[in-house]
Amino acid sequence: MTEVAAALREAAARLADVSDTPRLDAELLMAHALGIERQALLLDPARFDVPAGFDALVKRRMAQEPVAYIIGYRDFWTIRLAIGPGVLIPRPDSETLIEAAVDHFRAAPPQTILDLGTGPGTLLFAALAEWPTAIGVGIDASDIALDYAHKNAVRLGLENRVRLMPGDWAGQVQEPFDLILCNPPYIADDEALMPDVADHEPASALFAGADGLGAYRRIIPDLPRLLTPGGAAILEIGHAQRISVSELARAAGFAVACKQDLAGRDRALLLTRD
């Protein structure tokens, strides 16, 4: 076994008590310490020596700091987003919203996209990368999130196709959009979370009142005026919120379809109007 392979095996064993993906965490931290992509590490680990900073990164992860904060980025859909403390970490589950949008707009791509609670630009920039002729608006109440979104727009070459604004959901938005994306906070205030989430990610992007529905009650009634004819709004939901959020959407005049994530859990609601 090579030096790097042995170090990865040892690190994964140390991380097993704090992570559901200890081997992946170890590989990402090693690649980051080496300044290479994980794929290059896996292709030929014997090429490399264990870098001096690797153990310090493992100790940070053992203290429940999220890997994405340690390495400073998270891959999402087809893009890479710079992130850090104060920003919600993009999850693979949220790619369900992009998949639903691609399926809905298969015949004709959306030309205008609104992302409510854009964070570091997660959903908006993934959608703009998918549809090169589209333009978009991203809104977030967090200055930290918007700062990361601005940096990501530049890094991805999207700065001329996007407008980023501070705001309280869509209150100041006047024009309609073909596609509206939103991953709002939807966790009940008393719900227990893993320490790497609860102790590090911003509470404002996670919690939404006693039943987790507070953000939906504010967002959904405002959506009818914001959609173009034939447009769609796609909202992320918690896996047990399909019925309650669908009721809010139907009360606002929407037809509702639910999309499941890769684990088969209800994850996104697609709202349309006749």
pLDDT at position 39 is 96
* CATH architecture of the domain with range 3-63: Orthogonal Bundle (1.10)
pLDDT at position 224 is 96
Helix (H) or strand (E) holding 138: strand 135-140
**Rounded percentage of the chain residues whose pLDDT exceeds 90:** 94
Helix (H) or strand (E) holding 218: helix 214-219
Instruction: For CATH 1.10.8, list the domain ranges present in the chain.
Output: 3-63
User: Which is nearest to 216 in space by CA: 191, 192, 190, 251?
Assistant: 251
**Rounded percentage of the chain residues whose pLDDT exceeds 70:** 100
In eight-state DSSP terms, residue 107 is: S
Residue range 90-272, CATH number: 3.40.50.150
Helix (H) or strand (E) holding 139: strand 135-140
Instruction: For CATH 3.40.50.150, list the domain ranges present in the chain.
Output: 90-272
Which three-class secondary structure string do you get for 79-125? EEEECCCCCCCCCHHHHHHHHHHHHHCCCCCCCEEEEECCCCCHHHH
Contacts of 269 (CB under 8 A, 6+ apart): 234, 235, 237, 242, 245, 246, 249, 256, 257, 258, 259
In eight-state DSSP terms, residue 89 is: P
Q: Between 122-130 and 143-155, two packed helices, what is the crossing angle to 10 degrees?
A: 20
Under 8 Å between Cβ of 227 and 180: yes
User: What residue type is 28 in one-letter code?
Assistant: L
Check pLDDT > 80 for residue 1.
Answer: no
Check pLDDT > 80 for residue 270.
Answer: yes
**10 Å Cβ neighbour count for 78?**
11
Q: Quick one: tokens of 140?
A: 């977030």
27-32 mean pLDDT: 98
pLDDT at position 82 is 98
Query: Coil, strand, or helix at residue 32?
Result: helix
pLDDT at position 192 is 87
For the chain, the average pLDDT equals 96
Q: In angstroms, rounded to a whole number, what is the distance separating the alpha carbons of residues 272 and 90?
A: 25
**Angle at the Cα of 124 (from 176 to 264), degrees rounded to 5?**
105
Q: Quick one: tokens of 81?
A: 């987003």
pLDDT at position 190 is 85
Q: pLDDT by residue (tens digit) across 124-146?
A: 999 999 999 999 999 999 999 99
157-182 mean pLDDT: 96
